[in-house]
Amino acid sequence: MIQNSGFHLAQINIGRIIGTTIHDPIMEGFVSQLEEVNTLAETSKGFVWRLKDENNNATSLNPYNDDQIIINMSVWETLEDLEAFVYYGRHVQVLKDRRKWFVKFGSVFMVLWYIPIGHIPSIEEARERMDHLHQNGPTQMAFDFKVKFAPPAHNF
């Protein structure tokens, strides 16, 4: 188990939806699960924070100026806690069904990075980490589930 050493794990993932907007009828199967999955995340071991709007999700946020791109950003105590949520339990079904609602993104669509405990990442920070991963591959600064890093030994 990777200890947090004064750090939490931040993550962002982005997806390009099949519908023209999140309100397109083709997206109903995905949208109808959001509240349940978000509640499950918030009650999961190690959950710290997630980005959300007035509808208790992040689907109205549009940091890429593209109505077909939606984001999800959260903070977890450990990498293992996030992996448990993403790959085990109810969330796995959403992953299996993702092709019903999302097209293949074609580039980096998810990034993980460590933040000092108590820090809430901004969307801009997340975009910078995603760009770093895209340009440099996995490093301590920005990585993914395939190439993982332990938390830093000390604060940046």
Which two tokens mark 96? Answer: 């299996």
User: Do the Cβ atoms of 140 and 55 come closer than 8 Å?
Assistant: no
Report how far residue 56's alpha carbon sits from residue 38's, in angstroms, rounded to the nearest whole number: 8
Identify residue 116 by its one-letter amino acid code: P
Would you give per-residue pLDDT tens digits along the chain (156 residues)? 444 479 999 999 999 999 999 999 999 999 999 999 999 999 999 999 999 988 888 998 999 999 999 999 999 999 999 999 999 888 888 888 999 999 988 788 999 999 999 999 999 999 999 999 999 999 999 999 999 999 998 655
Query: Residue 115 is encoded by which pair of tokens?
Result: 């933040």
Q: pTM of the prediction? A: 0.91
* Cα–Cα distance measured from residue 108 to residue 56, given in angstroms and rounded to the nearest whole number: 26
User: Which distant-in-sequence residues (6+ apart) come within 8 Å of 28 by Cβ?
Assistant: none
Instruction: Set out the domains of the chain in order of their start, with CATH numbers.
Output: 7-136 (3.30.70.100)
